[in-house]
Amino acid sequence: MSSQPRKIVLGVTGGIAAYKSPDLVRRLIDRGGEVQVVMSRGAQQFVTPLTFQAVSGRPVRTDLWDEAAEAAMGHIELARWADAIVVAPATAEFLARLAHGFADDLLTTLCLATTAPITVAPAMNHQMWANPATQANVRLLRERGVRFIGPDTGEQACGEVGVGRMVDPVRIAEEVFTVRGGDGPLKGLKVVVTAGPTRERIDPVRFISNRSSGKMGYAVAQAAREAGARVVLVSGPVQIPTPVGVERIDVESADQMLAVVQEQVRDADIFIAAAAVSDYKCREVAREKIKKTCDAFTLSLTRAPDVLATISRSESPPFLVGFAAETENVEQNALAKLTSKKLDMIAANKVGDNLGFDKDDNALTVYWNGGHKELARTSKLALARQLVELIAERYRLSKTDRKATTAAAVRAQ
């Protein structure tokens, strides 16, 4: 089983969000961590080493050329000491240096010399985060197993609004102490998750879609991975980083999603359909952009494939979990879907203006044959963890019931 980190090197780089990092030290210590702070030269322009020494109870390391610390190759000793390295905030400059293997200061040298997992919490202006150079570095680091927490969306120190805020220290500490892919309740199982919207083309530049952000589906995929499963995430078009350790397959239309899901569920144990798949698609897709030639325009639509219903009708479907996003009669509609699509479970919530879509929190009511459970409003990741725990419980019970039914049939022969 993967153990939780106890000895944590906290790297602090030179961004204004460094003022949040002393609070992060306390949050990590409160969860049982021993924290050794390593500051870059830029970080010391925002917060003093004395501040971190006061909250961590340890002298702060700042210099690769510290004669006293390096007399016995202290940077190697520190790299071996750490169970985890966490960098918060992680600036665009630090991500670039980490991606390209620079080792010209203590923090980057530690990152190269350690075998411990590395987690970064980016913080920068939203244009810097969106820059192709930064995104290329992020992709490269993800491929190498570096774990990203955030960034969040919101108002930034520069006064602009966008993606680039450092995640709150409480959430960072919670994520750091979350065991990834260990002996969780889904260990050894393959879980397929769908997420996000689908797009149904009208012409080469227009499409029909919906407001799904994909956040809930991605949170479910992450939670399933944390619970030990091998997770395949089939995603519609969204701008969300792939959870660490999750295999992601991108699709656009309902037809494409169905084809990929059918292939992936052949050896899957659980299928969680969190995507908002389009109900309709254009009967014919225009080959060229449709010109604005009249005041009214009519589209001829036909039914798009129902991914979950199709899988439920297959010869040997996996354990099936659906989602019901409803604007009214939530319970009635959810139970109807549970029955008509022959699902094992369905998670229902009310959506609409200021509810469900595009939000970072949610609430669910989960139904199954003969029971239900309310999951109170919380962050989508925390909610997903509760949901996955419940799915694992119901999955185990279903396997026990099937074994009992099989045994009874054998005895009756």
- Residue 142 near residue 115 (C-beta atoms within 8 A): no
Q: CA torsion angle for 229, 230, 236, 240 (degrees, to 10)?
A: 70
User: For residue 211, what are its two tokens?
Assistant: 């407001």
Count of Cβ atoms closer than 10 Å to residue 86 Cβ: 29
Residue 269 DSSP SS3: coil
The SS3 assignment for 325 reads: strand
DSSP conformational letter for 298: -
> Using an 8 Å Cβ cutoff, are 261 and 251 in contact?
no
Bridge partners of 120, per DSSP, are: 87, 148
Q: Has 294 been annotated as catalytic?
A: no
* Order of strands across the sheet that contains 7-12: 34-39, 7-12, 84-90, 118-122, 147-148
- List strand residue ranges (DSSP E) for 7-65, in order: 7-12, 34-39
Cβ 75 vs Cβ 110: under 8 Å:
yes
Considering 111, 158, 282, 294, which one is annotated as catalytic? 158
Active site residues: 158
